[in-house]
Structure 1
Amino acid sequence: MSRRRLLPGLLAVALLVGCGVPVDDEPRLVQTPPGAFPTPAVSSTVDGDGRVDEPFCFVRDDGLVVVNRRVDGLPGVDTHLQHLLAGPGPGERRQGLATALPGTVAVAGATLAGTVATVDVRQAGEETGRNDEVLAFGQIVCSLTQRPDVYSVAFRRGGQPLEVPRADGSLSVLPLTAADYRPLMPR
């Protein structure tokens, strides 16, 4: 074989070998790309007269149940959270729905930046006697991520990220989604 034919072939092989993806020495954290991702939980049903669903996750037995209330317009995340903290209405209570929030998670407020809702939490009193934090945090995450403008929920206390229990019992300081509490939701 002539050198003229061999040289372009070797050059092509050298270029292909050099075009690989570099390998890191250690694993690295991959950041979630910005923007909302469609999930089965997201709902923004609007009827003919402009009313929309305001979604809530309440507790039944040891699980979370999604309930939608028809409202004239979806409120901001802080107002939505205040509605959740008020608990189920009389009709919802007759259906066996309850809340794990009072006495478990002391919420100071919520803000929305992009598609991440951040909930500020105060220290709950020691006298509450409640131990269902997973359901309480699940109610907040599940309710807010049902909104079309919220993909995940982060928690902080005193301006610092707060470790929050997920349904599997693990703790996370990263923003959470409804998928983190899916085991608590009936199919």
Structure 2
Amino acid sequence: MTRRLLPVLLAAALLGGCGVPVDDEPRRVQPPPGGFPTPAGTATAEPDGRVDEPLCFVRGDGLAAATRRVDGLPGVDAHLQHLLAGPDGAERDRGLATALPGTVAVAGATLTGTVATVDVRQAGEETGRNDEILAFGQIVCTLTQRPDVDSVAFRRDGQPLEVPRADGNVSSLPLTAADYRPLLGR
């Protein structure tokens, strides 16, 4: 009987020594000094429940950020549709414009993991615009400010589409805001 009881007692002693000691009553945990960091590009809710919707427009020959207050961050496709609608009156008064209409014909966007894929149709010949770098930069810089998007890929007819980056080189790989950094804040 002692041989059977010995392993049980040994196991109980070992298990009793593991873990966190129990206090007689709850104790207050002190937060670390300083504030908690908010990851870049995240939408933060205010007490009224509204969040910032980041958008990227054109000012002069560069890209400029704008923020709109919305009830909740929309899905990727709806966010892109807000960008395609262009700057509102107050944003236009601040000198913001868009290079998108007539330059890039967007059919929609989807999110797979952290990559937003934007489907692009062939733009019409009557556009008269040649600022594709700014147009693609607007899309990439807008969508990568979302907390759920790390990069943006473009495709046409289901195939990867080569798009211009700020340095003039083209890429069919997913792009990030860093690909357009030279154009930001001009």
Distance (whole Å) between structure 2 residues aligned to residue 102 and residue 116 of structure 1: 24
Mapped pair 1:174 → 2:173: yes
Secondary structure of the structure 1 residue equivalent to 2:83: helix
Gaps of 5+ in 2: 1-37
Q: How does 1:41-60 map to 2 (within 5 A)?
A: 42-60=41-59
With normalisation by structure 2, the TM-score equals 0.78
| Residue 8 (structure 1) aligns with | none
Identity of aligned pairs, percent? 79
**Residue type at the aligned position of 1:140:** I
| Residue 62 (structure 2) aligns with | 63
| Residue 135 (structure 1) aligns with | 134
Secondary structure of the structure 1 residue equivalent to 2:78: helix
- Post-superposition shift, 1:43? 2.9
CA RMSD of aligned residues (A): 1.3
Q: How does 1:113-152 map to 2 (within 5 A)?
A: 113-152=112-151
With normalisation by structure 1, the TM-score equals 0.77
Q: 1:182 to 1:121 in 2, by over 3 A?
A: same
Distance (whole Å) between structure 2 residues aligned to residue 94 and residue 78 of structure 1: 26
Instruction: Give a deviation string over 1:51-110, Cα, whole Å, max 9, x none.
Output: 111110000000111111010100000000001000000010011000000000000000
| Residue 20 (structure 1) aligns with | none
**Residue type at the aligned position of 2:166:** A
Greater C-alpha radius of gyration:
2
- Where has structure 1 moved over 6 Å in runs of 4 or more? none
Q: How does 1:71-86 map to 2 (within 5 A)?
A: 71-86=70-85
| Residue 91 (structure 2) aligns with | 92
| Residue 100 (structure 2) aligns with | 101
